[in-house]
Amino acid sequence: MSEPIRLSRRVSELARCSRGDAERYIEGGWVSVDGVIVESPQRMVSTERVELDPAAVLETPEPATVLLHKPVGFDAIGGRKPAAALVAPASRWADDPSGLRLLQRHFVRLTPLVPLDTEASGLMVLTQDGRVWRRLTEDAEQIEHEYVVEVDGEIAPYGLNRLNHGLSFRGQALPPCKVSWQNEFRLRFAIKAVQPGQVRDMCAQVGLRVVAMRRLRIGRIPLGKLPVGEWRYLPVGEKF
């Protein structure tokens, strides 16, 4: 029986490359052990069949950013029922247009960003990328979110004008936003720096009860046709 050695050493011998390059191949998801992709260079192997994908390229995997269509009833940040648990290989959208290869490392330390009410559905962001984290936290007040909100009740006089400008939330005056009717039961909100519960409270202040709410867009990134409960990658270079 062969003495166990590190997978990185076996790949180095197989590909006739340096140990560092072998580790990059492995971490990039280009190496399989008995037909199963392994991303850990420290994995010990002996008689197993180790193969390097002929299409392998030497590149450091980029940190992943994931766009999830959060269903109603899941908590975006914190809570007992985290939406982050929905992000798994099996729930990736089959029509994901990003072209990115799925790696197991993409499911480690994904940080959920941008709050979304538990009772709401729609676009949610989780990331490993510090650049995305900074953009969506430090620049939050500059990024517009779009919601479609189904409501019930009779709007108060001048209610639409007040929704656009003139309301307060938790004792603070709200900055102007853009609110318009889509039909007699549905409002569209384009709003910046929205806080949890804010849209529901704004509607209540003008006599409307929120029946359903869905976030359609964060900055320049739309929800699009992403199915409920599924996710896709945010391609490198696509900005909020």
Q: Give me the CATH number covering residue 44.
A: 3.10.290.10
Q: What is the pLDDT of residue 26?
A: 86
Q: What is the pLDDT of residue 179?
A: 98
Whole-angstrom Cα distance, residue 5 to residue 209?
A: 64
On whether both 29 and 71 belong to a single domain, the answer is: no
Cα atoms found within 13 Å of the Cα of residue 167, Cβ hemisphere only:
24
On whether both 195 and 158 belong to a single domain, the answer is: yes
**Is there a domain that residue 58 lies in?**
no
**Is there a domain that residue 57 lies in?**
no
**Is there a domain that residue 239 lies in?**
no
Cα atoms found within 13 Å of the Cα of residue 84, Cβ hemisphere only:
20
On whether both 44 and 97 belong to a single domain, the answer is: no
Q: Which SS3 state, helix, strand or coil, does residue 75 take?
A: strand
Range of the domain at 48: 5-52
The total domain count for the chain is 3
Q: What is the pLDDT of residue 125?
A: 98
Positive/negative CA dihedral, 17, 21, 26, 29: negative
On whether both 211 and 227 belong to a single domain, the answer is: no
Q: What is the pLDDT of residue 143?
A: 96
On whether both 163 and 190 belong to a single domain, the answer is: yes
On whether both 135 and 177 belong to a single domain, the answer is: no
On whether both 110 and 163 belong to a single domain, the answer is: no
On whether both 89 and 201 belong to a single domain, the answer is: no
CATH number at residue 105: 3.30.70.580
Contact 40, 103 (CB under 8 A): no
Q: What is the pLDDT of residue 207?
A: 97
**31-33 and 172-173: which strand pairing?**
unpaired
Whole-angstrom Cα distance, residue 60 to residue 11?
A: 17
On whether both 133 and 226 belong to a single domain, the answer is: yes
On whether both 127 and 19 belong to a single domain, the answer is: no
Contact 234, 221 (CB under 8 A): yes
Whole-angstrom Cα distance, residue 126 to residue 4?
A: 38
Backbone angles phi, psi at 168, to 5 degrees: -130, 165
Which residue stretches of the chain are H helix? 7-15, 19-27, 130-138, 159-164, 198-205
Q: What is the pLDDT of residue 28?
A: 83
Q: What is the pTM of this model?
A: 0.85
Contact 179, 163 (CB under 8 A): yes
DSSP string, 135-163: HHHHTGGG-EEEEEEEEES-PPTTHHHHH
Residue 234: C-alpha distances to residues 60, 67, 127, 154 (Å): 17, 6, 9, 40
| Length of the chain as a residue count | 240
Q: Which SS3 state, helix, strand or coil, does residue 118 take?
A: coil
pLDDT digits (tens), the chain, 240 positions: 578 889 989 888 888 889 888 888 888 888 889 988 888 888 999 888 999 889 888 887 789 999 999 999 999 998 899 999 999 999 999 999 998 989 988 998 999 999 999 999 999 999 999 999 999 999 999 999 999 999 999 999 999 999 999 999 999 999 999 999 999 999 999 999 899 999 999 999 999 999 999 999 999 999 999 999 999 999 888 899
**Is there a domain that residue 204 lies in?**
yes
On whether both 194 and 134 belong to a single domain, the answer is: no
